[in-house]
Structure 1
Amino acid sequence: MSETTEERIDRHAARGGIGTPTFEPRTRDGWIFLAGLLLFWVVYNGPPVPELAGIDLRLGMAGPASSNAWKWLGALLLIALVLWGERRGLASLLITKPTSKDIEWAFSAFGGVMAWSWIASLVAPQEENSGVATITSMSIAGVLLLIVTAAVTEEVAFRGYLQERLGSLLHSRWIGAAVSLVIFIAPHVVFFGPSWLFHQLVGTLALVAFTLIRRNLVATMLLHFLINAPILIPTMLAKL
């Protein structure tokens, strides 16, 4: 199949530096992006109302687990919007097969984040808060599902979609990454409290930097999973 002019432009843009947008914006992208923002809301916030026409949209669940199904649905709809609305491939979401180097970088970045977490716990041990208590009160299987859901759906929404689309529309992946970062941080601080910034912001910055450098969302999902996985430790201890 012959390559179109737009695909050729996008391919050359993807070879640029860290701040270079992965693809060039098209005339229709702005309107499609507005539709994408609605789906983005679903990924992070779940259904806008808990009930509709007598139907429980949270499937009888409460707390963080109640949004799992909606996050997966929203992420899949975002992918569908990219494939059939934007007429772009998964590579525009940075979803490609990771290389062995990508995986190595993910584990190295995880090691750095864990080193910071250890130092931070010595300097200022994180106080218990309602956010952590809510998660550790869940079952181990429930927390594991929550971690996997966050690693996959949040990376599709924040890094693959929001960061890359804003980077294209604003002609700078740096700006796209910065805006996406702020939007990602805000609800985490609300849920976990201000101490989250000192203990966990480094991990979030690692996700952003990793995506900008490696440009592989699958490897970023792995890093996201590894960074969140330690929450399983207090969860298991709470069950003893």
Structure 2
Amino acid sequence: MNTQLEQTLQVGEKKQLPFITYIGLYLALALPGIFVMVSGQIKPGWVLSEIFFWSLTLLILVIVVLYERQPLSSIGLGKLTWRSVAWGIGAGLVLFVLFGLLQGLVKLIGLPISTSAAKQIGEMPVWGIFLLALRAGVMEEVLFRGYPFERLLTLTGSKAVAAIVPLLVFIITHLSWGLGHLIFVTAAGGLITLLYLWKRNLWINIIAHFLVDFIAFMMIPLLLAK
């Protein structure tokens, strides 16, 4: 039996979504930014922040499966294949090269980067950096790419709107890292959004995002030493 959402999920057609999906869009696009702003004042700590973001990601997945009654493939999480892994690794390496190039540009023109956040990550053990990069890859791709893109595309019928709105939210949630890091976030976010538009496979995005973050985070002590 088709649910209301199943009847509306036709690419390129402007449709009305069930109310639960609007709640999902609010949770995905508004709540992370609100948490980032509030956490700057209350400083909840790394563990509580991770619990919050993992819980929010899980909640979105629960909404998709139990309330929208859709498969996870409706937000790009289809079957994970070796081909997806290969694409993800390749895309992650490309993004890391971009990170290196933009890092050099940022230092050349003297744009500010948040050294406090970088130092906090640089002091983490390897397992902590791994978990942080994993959370960033999974959470940000589910909340800022797969879920909002697919649902906004159904709502508006516009790929441009569905891609740009989550991208802007993604950029805004990284403002505290400083203008220098924001250049990389904007460039990488734009490229990984285009990658999702092309492949519509969120596993590729997650793997690429995790890989570039993990390598970059591991290099922070070296970057701070320069």
TM-score class, shorter-chain normalisation, is 0.7 to 0.9
Distance change (3 Å), C-alpha of 1:237 and 1:140: farther
Contact 1:135 1:143 in 2 (8 A): yes
Q: 1:203 aligns with which of 179, 188, 192?
A: 188
Q: TM-score, normalised by structure 1?
A: 0.75
**Aligned residue type for 1:176:** A
Q: Distance in 1 between matches of 2:212 and 2:181?
A: 13
1:90 Cα deviation (Å)? 0.9
**Aligned residue type for 1:223:** A
Contact 1:43 1:70 in 2 (8 A): no
Q: 1:181 aligns with which of 167, 178, 186?
A: 167
Larger Rg: 1
1:233 Cα deviation (Å)? 2.4
Over the matched positions of the two proteins, sequence identity in percent amounts to 27
1:70 Cα deviation (Å)? 1.5
The range that moved more, 66-75 or 176-185, is: 66-75
Q: TM-score, normalised by structure 2?
A: 0.79
User: Map of 1:35-184 to 2, 5 A cutoff?
Assistant: 35-40=23-28, 41-42=30-31, 46=35, 62-125=44-107, 128-129=113-114, 130-184=116-170
**Aligned residue type for 1:231:** F
Counterpart check, 1:233 vs 2:219: yes
What does residue 21 of structure 2 align with? 33
Q: Distance in 1 between matches of 2:24 and 2:50?
A: 19
Q: Which has the higher contact order (CA 8 A, sep 6+)?
A: 2
Find runs of 4+ consecutive structure 1 residues off by over 6 angstroms.
2-6, 47-50
Q: How many residue pairs are counted as aligned between the two chains?
A: 216
Q: 1:223 aligns with which of 208, 218, 222?
A: 208
Contact 1:155 1:217 in 2 (8 A): yes
Judging by fraction of residues, say which structure has more helix.
2
Deviations along 1:121-180, one digit per CA (max 9) or x if unpaired, are: 333327552222232233332222111111112211111211211111011222111100
Contact 1:43 1:153 in 2 (8 A): no
1:65 Cα deviation (Å)? 3.6
SS in 1 for 2:80: coil
Deviations along 1:199-228, one digit per CA (max 9) or x if unpaired, are: 343222222111111111122110110110
User: Gaps spanning 5+ residues in structure 2: where?
Assistant: none
